[in-house]
Amino acid sequence: MGFWRTKTLAAMTKAEWESLCDGCGRCCLHKLRDEDTDELSFTNVACRLLDLTTARCSDYAGRRRKIPDCVQLTPAKLREVDWLPPSCAYRLVHEGKDLYPWHPLVSGRAESVLEAGVSVAGRALSERDAGDFAHHLVAWPGELPPAARTKKLPQAARKRP
């Protein structure tokens, strides 16, 4: 049984906490919030530190020094944020839900995130190339991809012995 099923987020070790991240990169996409309505909109514009090929931070250890407003998730912070994607393991565990079969902790393979259509790899552009973020509004970062909705893992993404 996975540790995420038996431990609270606050009780996890640093290594367990970090391993919950599936590496999809969706949280690294810029979001816009309407000042009048507080409505949240997603963009396909990635933080300049996000590697658009791997959907991984190119300087995870130094990200907060380079990007001061980069959000460092904590169990307490999870109660405040409303922009985590529905596939996010931190959000799922916080809500008392299980991880999807394509999550690397379940599948045993980092590639299963890309295979399930959850990763931003190949779907985002850098903030350096974007211009006005309002021209890059998209819905998909806030939605669960159809292939990821299934509780059954595709044959190619199943854990190998």
pLDDT 10s digits, 95-127? 999 999 999 999 999 999 999 999 999 999 999
DSSP 49-83: TEETTTTEETTTTTHHHHSTT-----HHHHTT---
- 66-80 pLDDT tens trace: 999 999 999 999 989
Task: Residue 90: name the closest of 1, 16, 150 by CA.
Answer: 16
pLDDT of residue 146: 80
- 13-22 pLDDT tens trace: 999 999 999 9
Higher pLDDT, 26 or 152: 26
**pLDDT surpassing 60 at residue 57:** yes
pLDDT of residue 150: 64
Taking the C-alpha atoms of residue 33 and residue 127, their distance in angstroms, rounded to an integer, is 17
pLDDT of residue 158: 44
